[in-house]
Amino acid sequence: MKVMKKIASLVLAGAMTLSMSMAAFALTGVTAEEQKILDAAPAKAAELGVPTSSAQYQKYYSQAVTYVQQNDMTTAQVDGALKAMDNATAEAKTAMEKAGVSSLLDLDEATLKSLTASCASVINKELQAVGIEVRVSADGTVTGVTTQGSNKNDPTATNTPKQNTVISSTKVVKQTGSDMTATVVVAATVVGAVAACGVVSKKKGLFAKTEA
Partner 1 sequence: MAYIYMPLIFTVIGYGILWIATAPVIDFVYNVGSMVMAQEVPEFNTQLGSVFDGNDGTPEEQPEFVSTSNVNLPVFGEQYGQITCERIGLDAPVYFGDDNDILRVGAGQYIGSFLPGYGRLIMLCAHNTTFFRPLQIIEAGDIIVFKTSYGVYQYQVSRTDIKDHNDSSAYDLLKEEEELIMYTCYPFETMVGTKTDRLFVYCEKISGPTVID
Give the residues lining the site for partner 1 (CB under 8 A).
Answer: 19-20, 25, 28-29, 55, 58-63, 65-66, 69-70, 151-154, 162-168, 170-187, 189-190, 193-194, 197, 201, 204, 206-207
For residue 30, which amino acid is it? V
CA distance 211 to 182: 45
Q: By C-beta, is 100 or 174 nearer to partner 1?
A: 174
| Minimum CB distance to partner 1, residue 193 (Å) | 5
Least separation, in Å, of the C-beta of 104 and partner 1?
Answer: 18
Of 100 and 177, CB closest to partner 1: 177
Q: Which is nearer to partner 1, 46 or 90 (CB)?
A: 46
Nearest approach, Cβ of residue 78 and partner 1 (Å): 18
CA dihedral 35, 170, 54, 173 (to 10 degrees): -110
Q: Which is nearer to partner 1, 82 or 167 (CB)?
A: 167
